[in-house]
């Protein structure tokens, strides 16, 4: 005969916060007036420190997935807001840089066909 273990006591704070995190992800961030979903916004929504989020992320796969989904939603929201000009372009650019975006321009000092390749300087020796 197998015995079923019954949990006694109050549910863990993590279980409660996991459900609240799902609500934040599914639109709670908009309901509280956040312009974009963020980990800082989630920490405030849950009433915990940001370090607690990172601790749960390292220990719980379900929580790690939620944090990754929040960052993905943040990226998408920023892209759409930036393209529609609803968001400040400087702030959008700054936050998107955390997602790997950049406006870095590389300059090549020679043409692709080699016709404008710098040549070695020519020195003329003058005899007196």
pLDDT at 94: 92
Helix (H) or strand (E) run with residue 16 in it? helix 13-23
Residues 14-73 pLDDT 10s: 889 999 999 999 999 999 999 999 999 999 999 999 999 999 999 999 999 999 999 999
Give the closest residue to 21 by CA, choosing from 52, 55, 67, 54: 67
CA proximity to 63, closest of 72, 52, 74: 52
**What is the rounded end-to-end Cα distance, in angstroms, of the chain?**
113
Per-residue pLDDT, 85: 92
Q: Where are the domains of the chain?
A: 13-74
Q: What is the rounded CA–CA span in Å between residue 72 and residue 38? A: 10
User: Considering the entire predicted model, what is its pTM?
Assistant: 0.70
Instruction: Map residue 43 onto helix, strand or coil.
Output: helix
């Amino acid at each position: 005969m197998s015995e079923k273990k019954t949990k006694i006591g109050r549910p863990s704070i993590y279980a409660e916060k996991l459900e609240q995190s799902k609500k934040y992800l599914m639109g709670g961030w908009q309901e509280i007036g956040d312009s974009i979903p963020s980990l800082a916004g989630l920490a405030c929504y849950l009433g915990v420190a940001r370090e607690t989020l990172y601790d749960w992320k390292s220990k719980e796969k379900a929580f790690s997935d939620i944090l990754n989904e929040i960052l993905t939603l943040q990226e998408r929201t920023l892209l759409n807001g930036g393209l529609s000009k609803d968001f400040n372009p400087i702030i959008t650019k700054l936050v998107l840089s955390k997602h790997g975006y950049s406006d870095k321009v590389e300059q090549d000092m020679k043409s692709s066909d080699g016709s404008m390749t710098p040549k070695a300087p020519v020195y003329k020796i003058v005899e007196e």
